Structure formats: structure tokens, C-alpha cells
Amino acid sequence: MAVGPQTTTSDLRSLPSELQKELKRIESDFTLDTAMLKRITERFGEELREGLEKSNQNLAMEVTWVLGYPTGKEVGSFLVIDLGGTNLRICWITLKTNAEPTEMEQKRYSLPAAIKTSTSGELWNLISDSIGDFIKEFNLHDGSPEPSEIPWKRGNYPVQLVSVINDTTGAMIASAYVDPETIVGGIFGTGCNAAYMENVGSIPKLKTTLPDDTMIAINCEYGAFDNSHQVLPRTKYDIEICRESVRPDEQAFEKMSAGLYLGEIFRLVMLDLHEQGLAFKGQNAFEKLNQAFKLDTEFLSGLEHDTDEQIVARYEKSLGLKATRDELIVSRRVAESIATRGARLCVTGIAAIIKKKGITKGHVAADGSVAIKHPGFRRRWTQAMAEVLDWPSNRTEDPITMTSAEDGSGIGAAVISAMTIRRKNEGQTEGIQFEGSTK
């Protein structure tokens, strides 16, 4: 049997006429041509500016108080706490300048399911207990700061709070620490977001005595782009996801492009085909396909790149359904359409930042499961970037390239803390908000 990516014109013509017609409609609905990408990018630029001008806009454009890029000479040892959806990671990170390898000791602590519906106090107690365990296990008492109790801890540990960061900002700074060509940090995973450096003078909502040409990191929080539904061409499946989500009509852009939703979009398409009598006939598939978030982005990626036998096994394992040859062909094409649209959408926010800043060359430091694990993401992202920025077809290299981000929530936090401490020690605090310092 054929490998997934090699679906042929002959394969498509072998489908029943009604299924061919519906597949053509689906592919059309998920297609974003160059003109549409440029319109979305233009509107993205407008929302970037709106978010810098005043608060409570679609894009929060959070001012992080991370001033400038790292020099690469930041040093020191830092305790980093990385709170995720399933694990709490604690790291002891030692920076020795970017000329030497960063040292890291780390340990993961599982988050009990009950903690997600418990009180904030219970969560902070868990974090506090984990910090105490980590300090003891790695013998970090010697040479550490004097004990300084932090309000949300129930322990009194030798830990002083320096910064609280967003992983997107961290990814940009961690990458810039070792790669001075870094221009933007992007997260393309469960969610989507970007961070970049902006001039203080271009942020009207910011009240500070810092000089206008001071560079400060902005956490865009742009998953909420186009919440007012002015430009994004949403399909009926996107609209249904928005309607049924815990935050209806919010995070519109994220729900069309982020990893959390790609598998769900695919599920809704296949459920629609089943309800029309075009897929999984006679298998009681409605009950199996009618389970929200039953399929994830890994499933979607496998449909594009696995063999027929592997895809059949995926369907049986995930849904208990037996996929026919026609259903394999359709599944591949639908998966490709959804993933391609997602990658092309992920370009628009980055391209808007690049156009706003007049950047002509550099590296976009990307992190996140979709960017790292989906085999087709980078190729599709690069092609869309070329279309939006009008790169010549005969170019010998791409001016803007995607690189793999360093550990933003770990190394990035350490580098930002080192930058913050250096400024404090040098007395460079005028106009800087240090409390709750970084987002």
C-alpha cells in the first residue's frame, strides 16, 4: 500500500462523486491564498499598534520590562520554577556566558489532577513543598541567598524572587543569548504567541521615564487576534469550536492555528462527513466521533506521513473505527488542509511584527510541539512567509528563517534574571518596574 504523502490524482478520482465534491469544498474552505494572507497580516499589524496604544484591546501587548537583548556575558546560578499543565519542573541553572555550556540540574513533579480544581493556596503549597524538596536533594543551601520568605510560600527557603516570565519572552531571550540574529520568539504548540523588542517611544500606553529609544520586550498574547471577526475566514467547524469552548468568541486566531485545536477541527470534519453518509458507513461512528477533543495533533500528523497500515491502526486504536481506502485518502487530504492552513496562519503574526519593525533579516526562535514535531510545519511556514513578504523566487537563501528556540521557561528565565540583577546592581532602575517584573 502507498505511503500517505503520495496520494495521487488517480486516488482522488476513484472516490465516489459526492465524496469528491465534498472533499473539494472542504479543501477550498481551508485554503488561504497569498492575497488573504496579506490581508490578515495587514490587520494583524493594525491590532499590534492598537494594543501598544491602549489597554483592553484584542492583543494585550504586555510590557515585560525585559530591557534589550542579552549580551551573552550574563552569569550566575538561578532556581527556576516552570509550571506546566501536567508537571512542575524545577531547575538549578548556572550560566557561564554563552561561550561555555549552560549547566542544569532539574526535576519534575507531577501535578495531581485534583490540584487543577483546588484553591490557589493548595497550588502554591505544592510548589513550596517541591522547592523545599529540590533544595534539599541538590544541596543548594550553601552559597545561596539569605532566607527570604515569599508571600505565597509556606516555607522559608533561601530563595529570592527576581522575575516572573512568559515562555514566549523567555524563548526569545534564551535564543538571543546564544544567537544574536534572533529577532522574534514564537510559540507554535498547544497555543500560539510571539514576543519581540519594541522601542519605548512606540508604546503610547506605557508611562515611564525611560528614553524613547530603549528596547523593551513585548509579549503580544496574540492568540486573541481578530476576536471581533473582521478578517479571519472561519469555516463552520471553526465557528462550532468557538461556540462550544469555555471562552466563546475569544482566542479566535488560536482556535484556528494552535495544536490544541487542529485535531478537534479534523474530528468535526470527519463527523460532518459521517453525518452526510460519506464516511464510516454502518460503524456506529457518530458516537465515537462525537467526543470532543478525542483526536490530537499527533494523530493529524500521522495521517499525513504514516503508511496506510499505520493509519488504519491509528483509527482502530483511537476511535475503534475501521478505515476503508476511500476514508484513508480523504483523511490524508483533510489533515493536510487543516495543518497547512494552521502553518500559514502562524506566519501572519510574525510577518506583521517583521513589517512593523522594518526587519529584513534574522531568526525567528520557535518552540512548541507543532513547530518541533509536525514534519510539514516549517516548510509550509517558510513558503507562506515568502509569499507575504514578496521574496524573489530566484533567491539563494531565505532572509527570515525559523530556528529552534532554547529552553525559554528554563534558560530564558535564568538569563532574564541575570539581566535584571545586573541592572539593579548597576543602579539602572529609573523608570523600570521591578515588582512583578516580567510577564
Residue 367 lies in a domain: no
Alpha carbons 7 and 13: distance in angstroms, whole number: 11
Residue indicated by cell numbers 530603549:
214
Residue 378 is placed in which grid cell? 516549517
Alpha carbons 102 and 198: distance in angstroms, whole number: 28
Residue 312 lies in a domain: no
Q: How high is the pLDDT of residue 86?
A: 81
Residue 253 lies in a domain: no
Q: How high is the pLDDT of residue 284?
A: 86
Residue 365 lies in a domain: no
Residue 436 lies in a domain: no
> ∠ CA 191-288-262 to the nearest 5 degrees?
20
Q: What is the CA radius of gyration of the chain?
A: 24
Which ranges constitute the DSSP H helices of 104-235? 120-137, 167-178
Return the percent helix, strand and coil in the chain, to nearest 5.
45, 15, 40
Output the CA torsion 404→405→409→413 (10° steps).
150
CATH number where 97 lies: 3.30.420.40
Range of 93's domain?
A: 72-162
Q: How many CB atoms lie within 10 A of CB 438?
A: 25
* Cβ pair 123, 152 in contact under 8 A: no
Alpha carbons 294 and 319: distance in angstroms, whole number: 8
For 30, counting Cβ atoms within 10 Å of its Cβ (0-12 exposed, 13-18 middle, 19+ buried), the class is: buried
Q: What is the pTM of this model?
A: 0.90
User: Which element (helix H / strand E) includes 150?
Assistant: none
* Cβ pair 168, 193 in contact under 8 A: yes
Based on the structure, what is the number of domains in the chain? 1
Residue 313 lies in a domain: no
Which ranges constitute the DSSP H helices of 30-119? 34-53
Alpha carbons 438 and 414: distance in angstroms, whole number: 12
Mean pLDDT by 10 residues, the chain (439 residues): 57 90 97 98 97 94 95 94 89 93 94 89 91 91 56 70 91 95 94 96 94 96 93 96 88 93 96 96 91 92 92 94 95 96 97 97 93 90 98 96 89 95 82 49
Q: How many CB atoms lie within 10 A of CB 230?
A: 13
What's the start-to-end Cα distance of the chain, in Å?
Answer: 51
Alpha carbons 407 and 397: distance in angstroms, whole number: 27
Residue 149 lies in a domain: yes
Alpha carbons 305 and 436: distance in angstroms, whole number: 45
Residue 233 lies in a domain: no
Give the DSSP letter string of 244-312: HSSSTTSSHHHHHHSHHHHHHHHHHHHHHHHHTTSSSTTTTHHHHH-STT-S-HHHHHHHHHSBHHHHH
> ∠ CA 435-177-391 to the nearest 5 degrees?
115
